[in-house]
Structure 1
């Protein structure tokens, strides 16, 4: 089997739904449009269209982009389990963090570096807060 045939195929509806959910979360985290585009590896026009809510709009995303969406959704889920109040759930990503990984930067700054490792490692460190064992 080739790598292409093994790759997960996503429907356009799945792509749109996931992207809109991730964009909504990133907006609540107070990410700039540039930060959101780097985190999700999407263009500015795709970001803008996802925000508009046009029901006729569709988009195809690759496996990397869908994995980034998944990590944003999982970070959000972990934050909801760790914190009871919305100020922390949505504010944590914008708060400076003195953990050695973040080194005084905000989780959002780290995620917005744009590489998958930074996004994944941010997820890992937040997931540990809820008691996940690595």
Structure 2
């Protein structure tokens, strides 16, 4: 384990597990590889390796990347609480949204801009759905 990984409190196993979970969710959301790389701020090779499920592969991720993974996992959790059917759980991120923030764009389009603010704001607006406050 590197000093960076120790300082963040994330083991290589946690990084690999989180990344693979986020990549799996993004695939179910029909995100392209380029979109997934921008959302998670990872390289194309890291994305490809995460998809391969090689048990001997490991990766070190920084706190920004782990926070991005956390947002993807939390968006997925919120969608599972809001919707009963898999079509909406996995399809919502690709549905055009007329909410003022999305302005006719899909949540996936917003998230794939690659900046943390877009990812956070997308999460925040989806999370609000749990309380029917949107």
The TM-score range, normalised by the shorter chain, is over 0.9
Number of equivalences:
129
1:108 aligned to 2:108?
Answer: yes
Runs of 4+ residues deviating >2 angstroms = none
Find the counterpart in structure 2 of residue 33 from structure 1: 33
> 1:48-72 CA distances to partner (integer Å, 9 max, x unpaired)?
0000000000000000000000000
Shift of 1:16: 0.1
**Alpha carbons of structure 1 residues 49 and 56: separation in structure 2 relative to 1, 3 Å:** same
Find the counterpart in structure 1 of residue 127 from structure 2: 127
- How high is the TM-score relative to the length of structure 2? 0.93
**Alpha carbons of structure 1 residues 17 and 101: separation in structure 2 relative to 1, 3 Å:** same
1:52 aligned to 2:52?
Answer: yes
- How high is the TM-score relative to the length of structure 1? 0.93
Gaps of 5+ in 1: none
Q: In the aligned structure 2, how far is the partner of 1:132 from the partner of 1:117? A: 23
> 1:103-126 CA distances to partner (integer Å, 9 max, x unpaired)?
000000000000000000000000
Tell me the C-alpha RMSD between the 2 structures.
1.6
